[in-house]
Every structure is written in C-alpha cells, then in structure tokens.
Homo-oligomer: A and B are copies of this chain.
Amino acid sequence: MVYVKKQGGHSELRQRDVGESMTTNHKMEEVEREEEIDPENNTQNQPLLKRNRTLSSNPLALVGAKVSYIESLDYEINENDLFKHDWRSRSRAQVLQYIFLKWLLAFLVGLLTGIIATLINLAIENIAGYKLLAVLKYIHTERYMMGFLYFTGINFILTFVAAFLCVCLAPTAAGPGIPEIKAYLNGVDTPNMYGATTLIVKIIGSIGAVSAGLDLGKEGPLVHIGSCIASLLGQGGPDNYRIKWRWLRYFNNDRDRRDLITCGASSGVCAAFRAPVGGVLFALEEVATWWRSALLWRTFFSTAVVVVVLRAFIEICNSGKCGLFGEGGLIMFDVSNVTVTYHVMDIVVVAVIGIIGGILGSLYNHVLHKILRLYNLINQKGRIHKLLLSLAAALFTSLCQYGLPFLAKCTPCDSSLPESVCPTNGRSGNFKQFNCPPGHYNDLATLLLTTNDDAVRNIFSTNTPKEYQPLSLLIFFALYCILGLITFGIAVPSGLFLPIILMGSGYGRLIGIYMGPHTNIDQGLFAVLGAASLMAGSMRMTVSLCVIFLELTNNLLLLPITMIVLLIAKTVGDSFNPSIYEIILHLKGLPFMDANPEPWMRNLTVGELVDVKAAVVTLQGVEKVANIVDVLKNTAHNGFPVMDDGVVPPVVGQANEAKELHGLILRAHLIQALKKKWFLKERKRTEDWEVREKFTWVDLAEREGRIEEVAVTSEEMELFVDLHPLTNTTPFTVLESTSVAKAMILFRQVGLRHLLVVPKYQASGVSPVIGILTRQDLLAHNILTVFPDLAKSKGREKRN
C-alpha cells in the first residue's frame, strides 16, 4: 500500500476507500500493479529531512465509490508534422462540415436533454401522483396503518430499484455527478462517468429516487444526464456500439468533447429549472474552467433548444394527455402574480436572512462532510451495506413524512377561500385535509405528504400569511435538515439543489412569520429568500443562482433583494469553509486545479520542484525500439521529451556538443508507432511523405492502446523508430526559475497536461529539458507533502 503513505492529511479516508475497493472489485490490482512499476515510487528510502520525500503523483481518486486510476485530459493541440500537414490539407468543405456538425451536435444535445427531462418529469409526476392519491384514499377512510404500509412499501420498492441499479450496474450514477463534471472540464478524466449504462441508470434511478419521496432533487442528475448525452453523441454512441461515422472523427479529441460536455451541463441545468440563461451561467460560473465567448454562444443555443422542447411538451400536456403531469414538474415556483413591494429599509431584514443563510450553509457543508466520511466507512463494507443504507434512509424518510403530520393541529380554513381550494384532498394543493375534519386542513401534511416540487411550491405560496403554524414550519425545517444530511450520500442519483431549497424555504418562512409585522415583504418571498440564501451559503454561486431564481420565480422585481441575499450569504459562508462542490471534489481526491495559486507558491521555483522528482525520461529523435518498449513498460508517464544529440545547430559555429529539444511525444503515439510497426533498419530521419503513408490524424487521435497489447519480436527490438514526425514540436515550457504560482497559472489558463521545465543556463552539457510537470505535481497538497514548511509561510494570496 505504497500510495497510502503518500496521502498526507487524507490517508485515513483514502485507506478505507482502498480497503473497500479491494473487497468489491479487482480493479485495484491493476491499479496497484501500475503503482508498483512507477519508478518514482521510492518513498520509503527517503531520509526524514525537510524535503523528506520525492514529489510523486497519486493518480487515484474515488469515482462512483470506487478507487480508480485517473488520467489527465489533453486539451493542448498536439502540433506535430502530421497535424500540421492535416491542418494545411483540410479543405474548406471539411471545415464547414466540422462547423455544421458542431452546431448539429449542440442542437441534438439540447433536443435529447429536453426530451429526457420531460420524460423524467412525466414519470415522476405520475408515479408519485398515483402513489399519493392511493395513500390519501386510505387516510380519507381512516385506514391509517394500511396507508402507512402502502406509502412505505412503494417508497421502499422505488428506492430499492434506484439503489440496486446504482450499486450493481453503474456506481458512477450515484450522487449528483456535478463534481466529476467540474473535474472533467478542469482536465481530469474520471472513468465510466459518461457511458450509456451510467446514463440509463441515472435516468431510471433518478425517477425512482425522486418518486420515492426521498429528500433529493432531479437537478444534479439532469446535469449529469445532459453531459452523458453530449459525450455519447460526440463519440457516436456507446463504447461498444459506436457509429464509425467519418464526420464524427473530428470530435475524437478532448477539446471538442470538453465543449460538448459544457453544452450538456448547461442543457441539464436549463432542463431542471427551465432556466436557459441560468443554465448557461451555471455552467460558466460553477462547472467550467475554461470559457470562450464562442462557447457561451453555443451553450446558449443548446439551452434555447431545451426551452423550446419543454414548451412544446407543456403545450401537449396542457391538453391533458400526460396523466397527472400538469402544473407540477416544470413550471416550478411561479410567483409572477405577486406585486413585490419593499422599501430600502427592508434591506436590513434581507441582510439578516443572508447572514443566517451563510452560517447555516457553511454549517451544512461542514456536517455533510463529516457524514459523507462516515458513509464512506459504511459503503466500503460492500454492496449489500450500500443498499441497506439507502433503504434505511428511505424507510426513515417515509416514516417521518407519513407520521409527523399527525403531530400538527388541524387548522380551520379561512372562510374567504373557496371550498375547492381549502381543504384539498387530491394529489397536489395548498391546503391538504389529511386527517382533519371537513373545512380544516393539516399544514404539515401540505408540506410533507407531497412531491418535493409541490412542497416547494406550497411553502413559496404567497398571500397566505396565516397558512402555516410556526411549530409546523419548525418541524419541517428540522426534518429536512436531518434528511438533507443523511440522504445525500446514499447510492442513488441525487441532486443537492432541492434539499437545500426545502431547508432554506423552511427557515425563511419561519423568519417571515416573526418579521411579518415589521415589513411588507410577503411570507412566500421570505421562503424564496431563505432558499436563495442557503443555496448561496452552501454552493457559493452568485450570478447563476440569481438568474436561476429569477427564472424560477418568474418575477424580476425580486432581483435586487435576491442579489443582496446571495452576496451576503456567499460572503459569510466563504469565511468559514469552501463550497460544497469543492468539499466533495476534495473528498473524492479528484485533482482539481484551482484558479488561484496558494500564496506560498510564489516562494518555490519549478526548478526546486523538479529537483525532488525522479529524473526526466527522454527519448532520442530516432530511437531504438527496445528503448521505447522499455520506457513504456517501466514508466507510467504519458509524455516524453524527444531530444537530438550531436547535431550541430546552424546558429552557432563551434558548438558540436549541442543538444536539441525537438519536442514532446505522447505515450499513445509511441504505442501507435509500435502497433503499426513503423520501423527503420538504421538510425536515419524519414521523409514527410513516408509517415503520411503510414499514419493519418485519425490514428493519432486514438488514445486507448496499452503497451501490454503490443507484440514486438526480438528482431524488431533492434530496429529504430523515427519519432520526429510524431513529436509535438511546440510544447509549452517554463524556465526553471519560474515560480510554481506562475507555472500553475500557465498550466490552468492554457489547459495543459505536460509542462516542460527548461534550464536558465545555456552551456554545453546541460540538458535542454530538466523536468516535466504534470497536474499532480502542481497540486498544493502534493507539494506540501515534500515541502511541509511552505504552508507555514506568511501571507495569503486569495485575489478575489
């Protein structure tokens, strides 16, 4: 267990994760084998000096409850001879093809995400609707025990389906998926995240889990679903049944896939909230790492398509063809009919909500972090434990949702309300009769014994200042605090938005009741503001949340106060802990690269960093096959600098000891060269046309070969390969005197996978490249294990 030692602060958690994966799958063995052959793994022989270990990467992370070997993505354009030739020879028609296909794919992403979101909503509204109707019938006939058994039984079965699928078929489908998408767009490839199985399990699991009344939303899963659709479309279908359509080959690279997944994520948010601008901004503010204004435009196109699809479905459903799907589901919390009146002085009240939201939000993040660590302990015991945990959460939820309304007093209906409004006994409605006599309603049942969407709509309801008793709201708030904490970590697709909205609206409305005499803001708006403040306090978004709330509530007059609440809640929350997504990313061990370097990174040069790494492995411009095979088998590196020796550079006269840095070659391209048996009998450089006969850019786009799959005979071992035409001649470089902070900015801004370190000295005998830095080398956490003293240095850089 070599890597556990290197883990530093997180060794405890990581060790457990590893234990779990040992019992549940065999993937670990593969991971360990790769670890063992990593030449950098000499951690145990190091003296305990200040630099007590060599800097070594730890390419493991928790992906869908499994510890997996993760890779970086290649967003850099690999400018080798073949690429340049292809670039020059690409005709105008091909370029137009590419542009057309890019927009077609953005269209399809929007279309499919919209359709699937509608189907999910239809399924949830109908399943949950018929379930609730049956339960209410039992209650109406006072067969409470039967009602309970029916309610719990259905919820149990629905949860079982969702959890079983997630546990057995696609562990990556559990949870919201947003942190992994965030990591992907940052340059971290998490395996099995965007497959067809994951997509299907996510859809079914999300329907099951939400219909079961669990305290989770379909929003996060929809983002993941959108991204899966985008990824599948871009690669032409599921892994084993890909359409090998010629046009799609242009999209077989990490850059285009990144753009597509960004479109998918925006479409998902848009479909979840019917918020097209909010969806784009969410992707921009929270999910994406790089952004171009051209991409802004394309994601906007995707979300426009989603909105049109949703609108078309609503038109169809308005004619009553969608079963119980009606007002619910898509048009979430329309408060546009409310005249919002508030004065400048109301800002004080609004600020108080913001502060409380910030505190509660960061507290929620803190406790959820602890609980997720505890759940990891339970989950590592095996599939059956995961399943039991999910079912236990479902049972507890059902018990509370059914049982707690009996604690609430029955309230007589306001005589001004028509009988059709109060009390109601149907599936949805704001004044539920539940166990009350005619003319009375049970306010807690209105909030609990309904779908989550309806619960939000009910608690957001305006012009009903006396509807809810403070005690009922307190019970509601406390219950959803507990449910929000215990439900998130279970093995079903779960979104974080809705639980936080429910929690926040509860305390917001509670404040509204007590503030009522001092302000003219409606109680329903207090609930909205409470929800917004808790979202900002936990998720720490501002502009996108603001726009999402704007589009959700459909009332622009709310904008200024929403902005203030969000800003205050985020500021307060940020002073305690990072956002919930950052916490999850950290917990999963995904090597996310932050926008801001740590302050101490200015005090460390990349030269010092390279010094504590293993020596860089380089290849000759024309290299012996045996050496290539050797290097590929004995290292896990993905890029190797290619150097030419003894070439006299034309720019200087006397230097015959010159060395030339030709560029960087990728592992995948070396494997391609071996696979294609592109061997030479002697050490010589080839002509351009020779390589073009053997390779096309389509071959070089392929990244999936493994050296173990390549058979090389012992005669071939003595032959040579000319690496020049396959080498990327334009790798990004930094001087060894560059600070780590600057290297990190370059690495993240340009979206690199490898960064070459070149010497600041110019002399014969010096190697033109003294090291390679990768994502793992630039992570604060990894650097601190080698230079622990740095963390103590003064000053902080957060240039917010």
Contacts and interface: CB of A to CB of B under 8 A. Distances in A.
Interface residues of A, number: 104
A33 interface: no
B90 A543 contact: no
A89 B441 CA distance: 66
Contacts of A551: 556, 559
A742 B663 CA distance: 14
Interface string A303-315: 1100110011001
A139 interface: no
Given A556-B554, A655-B766, A662 B731 contact: no
Contacts of A750: 745-746, 749-750
A336 interface: yes
Contact of A762 (B599, B659, B799): B659
A555 to B, nearest CB: 8
Interface string A262-300: 000000000000001100110001000001111011101
A546 B88 CA distance: 38
A547 interface: yes
B746 A732 contact: yes
Contacts of A731: 735
Interface stretch (A52-60, A499-507, A790-798): A790-798
Interface string A763-795: 111111010000000000000000000000111
B277 A794 contact: no
A590 B84 CA distance: 31
Nearest to A334: B556
A311 B560 contact: yes
How often does this chain occur in the complex, in copies?
2
Given A300-B546, A595-B293, A738-B730, A762 B762 contact: yes
Interface in A88-144: 88-92, 95, 99, 102
A300 B563 contact: yes
A96 to B, nearest CB: 9
Contacts of A559: 276-277, 307, 551
B763 A655 contact: yes
A301 B547 CA distance: 14
A624 interface: no
A759 interface: yes
B79 A300 contact: no
Contacts of A84: 602-603
A654 B758 contact: no
B336 A556 contact: yes
A655 B767 CA distance: 12
A733 interface: yes
A361 to B, nearest CB: 16
Contacts of A190: none
B652 A793 contact: no
Contacts of A168: none
Interface string A529-562: 0000000000000110011001100101001100
Please indicate which of the listed interface residues A88, A307, A760, A763 has the most CB atoms of chain B within 10 Å of its own CB.
A763
A238 B79 CA distance: 49
A707 interface: no
Contact of A730 (B95, B546, B550, B742): B742
A762 B296 contact: no
A720 to B, nearest CB: 22
B657 A763 contact: yes
A786 B742 CA distance: 33
A750 B738 CA distance: 14
A347 B663 CA distance: 52
A537 to B, nearest CB: 14
A655 B765 contact: yes
A770 B652 CA distance: 12
Contact of A653 (B280, B742, B761, B765): B765
A77 interface: yes
B91 A794 contact: yes
Contact of A297 (B542, B564, B730): B542
Contacts of A292: 595
A737 interface: yes
Contacts of A304: 560, 563-564, 567
A753 to B, nearest CB: 14
A589 B762 CA distance: 39
Contacts of A1: none
A343 interface: yes
A599 to B, nearest CB: 7
Contacts of A793: 88
Interface in A69-90: 77, 79, 84, 87-90
Contacts of A563: 276, 300, 303-304, 307
Contacts of A799: 294
Contacts of A761: 649, 651-652, 655, 658-661, 768
Interface string A739-755: 10010011001100000
A570 interface: yes
Nearest to A663: B737
A344 interface: yes
A173 interface: no
A1 B344 CA distance: 61
A256 to B, nearest CB: 9
Nearest to A77: B742
B735 A735 contact: no
A45 interface: no
A634 to B, nearest CB: 25
A87 B403 CA distance: 60
Nearest to A555: B556
A543 B336 CA distance: 22
Contact of A300 (B89, B567, B605, B749): B567
Contacts of A240: none
Contacts of A300: 542-543, 546, 563, 567
A661 B759 CA distance: 9
A95 B796 contact: yes
Nearest to A758: B758
A800 interface: yes
A41 interface: no
A761 B799 CA distance: 38
25 contacts: A77-B742, A84-B603, A87-B602, A89-B795, A90-B795, A92-B794, A92-B796, A95-B796, A276-B559, A280-B543, A285-B293, A293-B595, A296-B543, A303-B563, A311-B344, A551-B559, A554-B556, A654-B765, A655-B766, A660-B760, A662-B737, A733-B734, A733-B735, A746-B750, A749-B750
Interface of A: 77, 79, 84, 87-92, 95, 99, 102, 276-277, 280-281, 285, 291-294, 296-298, 300-301, 303-304, 307-308, 311-312, 315, 336, 343-344, 347, 542-543, 546-547, 550-551, 554, 556, 559-560, 563-564, 567, 570, 595-596, 599, 602-603, 605, 649, 651-655, 657-663, 729-735, 737-739, 742, 745-746, 749-750, 758-768, 770, 793-796, 798-800
